[in-house]
Chains A and B, each alone.
Chain A
Amino acid sequence: MPMTGDEVFEKVRETLVDALGVDEEEVTPDATLTGDLGAESIDFLDIVFRLEKAFNIKIPRGELFPDGIFNNPEFVKDGKLTASGLAQLKTSMPHVDFAEFEQDPDINKMASLFKVQTIVSYVKTKVGG
């Protein structure tokens, strides 16, 4: 039976509280993973493992969080994403909203793209909610 949006959010919130050691109240839909919740690179892997277990889904590498983009000179030049880099990102991550980021595709600003809502949207596509 597909899960409701609220059910998905609750479970994602629980996952982030366990993985990042933050309080429930801090996990709002707009909270950024790295900025607001203090996630680091190893935490992203921990989050993927926990989401797979919690929702009984498979998350292929690079599907939820980007992979193989930053080191590719075709996709990143002078610290910014190229047009093909942006296109690649958009195709592989349809659950992310790139509208604001596109104005200034600085890779250092990429962290702000990943909000709690990003994860909720992704999981919903996987569980049919």
Chain B
Amino acid sequence: MRWIWIDRFLEFVPGKLAVAVKNVSLAEEHLHDHWEAYPVMPMSLMIEGMAQTAGILVGQARGFREKVILAKVVKAQLDDLVLPGDQITYRAEVENIAPEAAGTSGTVLRNGKCIGHIDLMFSHIDQNLGGMEFPEENFVFTGQFERLVRPFLEKGNA
């Protein structure tokens, strides 16, 4: 199982906005523990989906030079359950980008209807944890994340 909680980008405006979708399938293992009698998409994994959408947006804005990690969930409020067969849309916008951190705001839609908001803060760890050394290669942005966003950058949709 791969740790990827978005399926495809619908929109990607570098430095500004990213919209990604995730289709919830009963074939996903975790749904059978959460919960067997009534499978529900866990909130924590929707926060992760937003973090991946917003994190790629923030990372690409600085050329994937930074190792961008989720540092703070500023706000996460969803007012509806998400069930197998639903499509989640994550819409993330950049609020702030600085060399050492970034902040994003986001809305979550369930089958096209807004169900809540998730605002996040990311840390660029090379710029932040002074003195600690990290591997030189960017272990945050692996191939699978770059492949998702590449079509938008190549097309010159930037």
Which A residues lie at the B interface, using CB under 8 A?
A: 19, 41-43, 45-46, 49, 61, 68, 70-71
> Which 3 A-B residue pairs are closest in the complex by CB-CB distance?
A42-B71, A45-B101, A49-B96
27 of the cross-chain contacts (CB-CB < 8 Å) are: A19-B74, A42-B71, A42-B72, A42-B101, A42-B121, A42-B123, A43-B72, A45-B98, A45-B100, A45-B101, A45-B121, A45-B123, A46-B72, A46-B74, A46-B103, A46-B121, A49-B95, A49-B96, A49-B98, A49-B101, A49-B103, A61-B98, A61-B99, A61-B100, A68-B130, A71-B130, A71-B131
Classify the secondary structure of A's interface with B: helix
Q: How distant is the Cα of A41 from the Cα of B99 in the complex, in angstroms?
A: 15
Residues of chain A contacted by B98 (CB below 8 angstroms): 45, 49, 61
Which B residues lie at the A interface, using CB under 8 A?
A: 71-72, 74, 95-96, 98-101, 103, 121, 123, 128, 130-131
- Which chain B residue shows the least CB distance to A70? B130
Among B95, B123, B130, chain A packs the most CB atoms within 10 A around the CB of B130
List 11 additional A-B contacts (Cβ < 8 Å) besides A41-B128, A42-B71, A45-B100. Answer: A19-B74, A42-B72, A42-B101, A45-B98, A45-B101, A45-B123, A49-B96, A49-B98, A49-B101, A61-B100, A71-B131
B75 → A minimal CB distance (Å): 9
B51 → A minimal CB distance (Å): 14
